[in-house]
A and B are shown apart, each in its own frame.
Chain A
């Protein structure tokens, strides 16, 4: 209960007295800024499975880069590009759906990564976990620079392609008519998603980046209608998750990345319960109780 009885010591001092906590916080906040932009579209367009698959699909690229001694971020990016291209390519040359091709590539690439990491070439450094969970305790300035660049790309992409993503998400027919090329737009979103995952995996890990990608925008989308507001709220919710997660890890010796992810998900469930309670206490369902997608579909 020290977080109530001595709030300054619990909430503030760990950050003021430890430069590494500030670095971890900066890394977490940059990750949140990046993921919230792309994550909002991922949630609104129900692309969670694609995101999850992509987060694992980058692993063979990371593994190969790790063994060869190449930059793992570039390895991840290369793998992501291969995967994104394959996802859009498979449905064109076969009767398989995009969902199926994502699923197949997901397990295929994950298995490939495990095979690579337990092969002789990896010479016993066979740990794929390190990529899945990242290292918030090992953040260095170069990581922050990389993350900042990715954050700029993600925020820039969210602004530049806002209209295209919006039309594609809510009025696909109209998008066709307006010649907004939904297929290309979808491709751009996938590339942004890939960049987001690649930019954040070194800190929170490729698996836990999904928590940031989904949980804060999903929480925000339960309460907000307007997409820019969802993005802003997602950043704030994500920032709170990072903050609390780091402090839990600090005060209670918990794994850092997982603590942050868990906090983000816990906030989602808490918000969901509060929302359900509030609605249970009031009579008629209102239009704004409907999720954004359904509203748009009904128009």
Chain B
């Protein structure tokens, strides 16, 4: 029943196969002799441990925070997600995997922000690398799936902290909002634990404690400064309509109300729907909302359409999941928070 092959065919096949066999043998050889001589490679990380600990962060935002808590080069920081990259959709390469595996400490946001790095974080942690997920140590807000309208006039997400955050590490997707960095007070509150982690990873304790104090102070000053900037916006105009639900903590901190988001999700990976857009357009017209807010890390096609539909109101771009490119306004967390506050105050004030 088998089909015969001609002699030429057989010869060609022979040559091809020998090539494949060599390549496959190389693969198997590579697999077979693993773990024998570990000192040959692993370029950057291990030999640096004598000097300063290497810390890998997922987002540029936490990269900036870690550099500030570990100031004066007391830690060496590597950030995985490039500037302008969306933390919701960044997929790590095997090089990134190496960088994480060789780190003294990995700092991630957690709570599902880095959706496609989650598995890798777990694998790295299982290997014994210390992983600190910042948002797991912060008093979080729960995501309310509310389309656009229903909770008008209710202006804070009072949860009375009804849930504890101790053991819901890893596969917990209860809907805690991961965008914690928009509240400088909350960030300031977690710096102590972050500093402990850095010291534990081998950073000089005196330096870290000094950096910690001055950065905490800087964040608290920023908080006051933002509140002042936002004084320009009267209470009844403190209404945010954003691209995806990223500003829960900002709203919580500064008394804003998020009446709706174009993408009804904490993640940019979800989708909007026409009914929601129509609802939002109605709210905008009814409340006389002068501007809606897009973000640098995601397409603004839908929110532009919304702005047009709602009578050509302006679309203002905010920084969300990534800092601005170095040298531009908003290239640090503090700069980013100030940039957003100014943009919001200008648009709504």
Question: Residues of A contacting B98 with CB < 8 Å?
Answer: 18, 20-21, 250
Chain A: number of interface residues, binned into ranges:
35 or more
Among B29, B38, B175, point to the contact of A123 (Cβ < 8 A). Answer: B175
Contact check, B143 vs A224: say whether CB atoms are below 8 A apart: no
Number of interface residues of B (CB under 8 A): 67
Cβ-defined partner of A20 (8 Å) among B123, B171, B266? B123
Please determine whether B94 and A21 come into contact, CB atoms closer than 8 angstroms: yes
Residues A124 and B265 in contact, CB atoms below 8 Å apart: yes
- Shortest C-beta distance, B198 to chain A (Å), equals 24
A12 touches B26 (CB 8 A): yes
Residue in B5, B21, B26, B34 whose beta carbon sits within 8 Å of that of A22 in the complex: B34
Question: Does B50 touch A at the CB level, under 8 Å?
Answer: no
In Å, the complex CA distance between A118 and B270 comes to 5
Q: In the complex, are the beta carbons of B93 and A253 less than 8 A apart? A: yes
- Shortest Cβ distance from A25 into B: residue: B31
Q: Inside 8 A of A99's CB, which chain B residues have their CB?
A: none
B120 engages A137 (CB within 8 Å)? yes
Please provide the chain B residues from 232 to 275 with a CB less than 8 Å away from any CB of chain A in the complex: 245, 264-267, 269-271
Q: How far is the CA of A170 from the CA of B3 in the complex (A)?
A: 11
What 0/1 pattern do residues 17 to 31 of A give for CB contact below 8 A with B? 111111011100100
* Residue in contact with B34 in the complex, picked from A15, A286, A295, CB distance below 8 Å: A15
The contact string, 1 if C-beta is below 8 Å from chain B, for chain A 257-299, is 1000000000000000000001000000011100010011000
**Which of chain A's residues have a CB closer than 8 A to the CB of B266?**
123-126
Q: Name the one of A126, A139, A254, A295 contacting B93, with C-beta atoms under 8 angstroms.
A: A254
Residue of B nearest to A66 (CB): B173
Q: Which of B42-59 contact A (CB under 8 A)?
A: 42
Residue pair A130, B116 in contact (C-beta under 8 Å)? yes
Residue of A17, A138, A240, A250 near B23 (CB, 8 A) is A240
Known: A13-B41, A138-B123, A286-B8. Is A239-B93 also a contact (CB below 8 A)? no
Pick the residue among B21, B38, B123, B143 that contacts A236 (CB under 8 A): B21
Contact among A67, A137, A240, A288 with B97 in the assembled complex (CB-CB below 8 Å): A137
Q: Name 25 A/B residue pairs within 8 A (Cβ), A-sorted.
A: A12-B29, A14-B41, A20-B98, A66-B173, A69-B171, A114-B271, A126-B267, A127-B88, A135-B91, A137-B93, A137-B97, A166-B1, A223-B16, A225-B2, A226-B3, A233-B17, A236-B17, A239-B24, A239-B27, A240-B24, A240-B27, A243-B23, A246-B94, A255-B91, A255-B92
Contacts A12-B26, A20-B127, A69-B173 aside, 6 further interface pairs with beta carbons under 8 A come to A20-B94, A127-B116, A166-B1, A226-B2, A239-B24, A250-B95
A residues in contact (CB < 8 Å) with B: 11-22, 24-26, 29, 66-67, 69, 114, 117-120, 122-130, 133, 135-140, 166, 170, 223-226, 233, 236-237, 239-240, 242-243, 246, 249-257, 278, 286-288, 292, 295-296
